[in-house]
Chain A
Amino acid sequence: GAGVSQSPSNKVTEKGKDVELRCDPISGHTALYWYRQSLGQGLEFLIYFQGNSAPDKSGLPSDRFSAERTGGSVSTLTIQRTQQEDSAVYLCASVPSASGRVYEQYFGPGTRLTVT
């Protein structure tokens, strides 16, 4: 079946512009994570959605970052007034059950964001 998809796969934007990154989780998966990986850095947790609960936003690095998950499915990560340090690969992962078992975390291919 279809896996987690993300779009665009690559995005180049000018400093100061807003960008939206999209994640389509596997249908029926209840939890969704956003991560980012900057060059040479480990994976950084950004935000976590679980069902209808309030999202865990503890990983968002600044108030320029926000994310929504509409209808418990598609998620959009928005970065306003992009900065060069926002350049990274942004990964989305979905999980099929409320247990959040890590081995069931399905990752999308990522969006490579480059801010010039």
Chain B
Amino acid sequence: DADVTQTPRNRITKTGKRIMLECSQTKGHDRMYWYRQDPGLGLRLIYYSFDVKDINKGEISDGYSVSRQAQAKFSLSLESAIPNQTALYFCATSRTSGGSQETQYFGPGTRLLVL
């Protein structure tokens, strides 16, 4: 979805390096998420944020940190990258809907290779 953008789209880094993946959205949504996808494992939630002052750990937050710089921006950092963090990373957004179902909108993904 063009309303959710991720940079970079592809990244190669070395073990021990710090890297940041960025996500921006123009949908005006308050909720943002970071997932990783590994072959054959579906998507797993890393971190999520319901507004600028709210950050929550997901299933697999170890080795990652996030920053919600503004409602439209949510960054994922790997403080010291390791090879098993090689994966496809997706950012997603949704709008709080007062108890009814929310649809999440995903970005195009960032393919990360850690050597």
A-B interaction:
no
Where the two chains meet, the residues of A that have a C-beta atom closer than 8 Å to any C-beta of B are: none
